[in-house]
Amino acid sequence: MTTVRGFRVHRVHAAVATLVTALVLIILTTGCAKERPLLTQADLDARPPITEMQDRYEGMLQRIRAAIDAAVGPREWYVDNKSASYGTCGDRNFVPNVIGRDVTLPFWQFDRPITDAEWPAVKRAVLDVLGQYGFQPGGMAVDTGGDHELNAYETGYGGYFNIGNKINTVMRVSTGCHPGEIRIYR
C-alpha cells in the first residue's frame, strides 16, 4: 500500500493511473486526429489567383450588404479602403519555399450597431450568403445585449469573414493564401 494525498492506494492502481495519465498527455500533445498536410507550391499554384478571389469576395460582400438591407432595411454603407491589408503567406506558416499572397479586403461599415431585435435576421441573411461561398460559422461568436459578432471560415482556401458591432457595424473578409499579384485598394 502507498499513500497518495491522504488516500491509500495499491501500487497496481498507482501504476495504472500513471500509465493512463501518460497516455492522455501523449494524445493531447501529439494529437490523435489526422493533420492537414502542409501546403506545397504545386498546391498553391492550383488555387485561383489572388485577384480572382478579391473579385469573388467583393461580390460576396456586395450580396451580404444587399441581404442585410433586405432583411432589416437599408443602411448607409461605406467602404474604408485604407483598412485593406496585404501579406505573403506560406513561409510565415513554416512551409519552406512556398510563397503566396493574402489580402484582407477593405472593411464595409455603417455608423450604428445592429439592434438586438435585428440581429437574428441579419445573422440568417449573412449565413445564407456565406454558405453559397463555402463559408461555415466558427470561432468565437458574441451574442449579448447590444454586442454581436459572427466569424466564418472558408475551409477550402482559408478565407475568413467577420461582422461585428457594438458602436458601429463593421464587416470584413480575408482571402486565404493564393498565387499571383494583388490588386491594391486606393
pLDDT tens series, the chain, 186 aa: 544 444 444 444 444 334 333 333 333 333 333 334 567 888 889 999 999 999 999 999 999 999 999 999 999 999 999 999 998 886 555 556 678 899 999 999 999 999 999 999 999 999 999 999 999 999 888 888 889 999 999 988 999 999 999 899 999 999 999 999 989 998
Would residue 155 count as lying in a domain? yes
5-30 burial, b at 16+ Cβ within 10 Å, e below that, comes to eeeeeeeeeeeeeeeeeeeeeeeeee
Q: Are residues 50 and 31 in the same domain?
A: no
* pTM (predicted TM-score): 0.77
Q: What's 62's domain CATH number?
A: 3.30.2030.30
Range(s) of the domain holding residue 23: 1-35
**Nearest partner of 48 among 101, 84, 87, judged by Cα:** 101
Residue 185 lies in a domain: no
In a domain, 184, yes or no: no
* Rg (the chain; Cα; Å): 23
Continuous segment of H or E residues that includes residue 142: strand 142-144
Q: Are both 120 and 91 inside the same structural domain?
A: yes
Instruction: Return d(Cα 148, Cα 26) in angstroms, integer.
Output: 38
Domain count, the chain: 2
Q: Beta 159-165 vs 2-4: how paired, if at all?
A: unpaired
Q: Are residues 92 and 148 in the same domain?
A: yes
CB-based contact 86:174 (threshold 8 Å): no
In a domain, 151, yes or no: yes
Instruction: Kindly state whether residue 180 falls inside one of the protein's structural domains.
Output: no
